[in-house]
Chains A and B, each alone.
Chain A
Amino acid sequence: KAGVTQTPRYLIKTRGQQVTLSCSPISGHRSVSWYQQTPGQGLQFLFEYFSETQRNKGNFPGRFSGRQFSNSRSEMNVSTLELGDSALYLCASSLTSEYEQYFGPGTRLTVT
């Protein structure tokens, strides 16, 4: 069974730009969670989607948004990028988020 895939793997953007990251979950998984990981803050929860609905949301500004499609694929968008948004963005899929979550390789975003 194929694992979680994320695209792109690496991205360099400039302050003020926007970015869209994509995640394809494991087949059959309906929950997709997004996390931001930085050396200083560790792993921080962004939001979770289940069956195209955002069920849970972390404490991030409105510049961070996401959506999920009917095939469970998910995208997250960050608008008006700031230097502090530089991080590893991780997507995790699960049957439902309260059980084991399986992570993708992440997208390394660098904002200059």
Chain B
Amino acid sequence: DAKTTQPTSMDCAEGRAANLPCNHSTISGNEYVYWYRQIHSQGPQYIIHGLKNNETNEMASLIITEDRKSSTLILPHATLRDTAVYYCIVRVVGNDYKLSFGAGTTVTVRA
């Protein structure tokens, strides 16, 4: 039972912002939105997470809608090294001990 839905793939031009959408219409009040990415044949990399406020770190920004039913991960200036599969998941912080990824979005950054 998928808790999130993401587009299968998307392209982005190098140097431009990449906006990755995620729908989580059944999210519960105590579930956080997490983003990970996985570059081919490497371990997944934690990017960012948030509950209801927008969050920003050195890698990306996370914009969560007011009703929390969807969110957008923003890579401000995409580089070729950002080509990866991006996973959006929801989990209860302090309760869910394991991660489970869906199919994710394959992002290809083109020169």
Q: Which residues of A pack against B, CB within 8 Å? A: 4, 6, 33, 35, 42-43, 45, 48, 55-56, 58, 88, 90, 92, 97-106, 108
Contacts and interface: CB of A to CB of B under 8 A. Distances in A.
**Binding site of A, secondary structure by majority: helix, strand, loop or mixed?**
strand
A98 B95 contact: yes
**Binding site of B, secondary structure by majority: helix, strand, loop or mixed?**
loop
15 contacts: A33-B99, A42-B101, A56-B98, A58-B98, A92-B43, A92-B99, A98-B92, A98-B95, A98-B96, A99-B94, A101-B46, A103-B44, A105-B42, A106-B41, A108-B41
Interface string B65-104: 0000000000000000000000000001111111111110
Contacts of B93: 98-99
B45 interface: yes
Contacts of A45: 98-100
A109 to B, nearest CB: 13
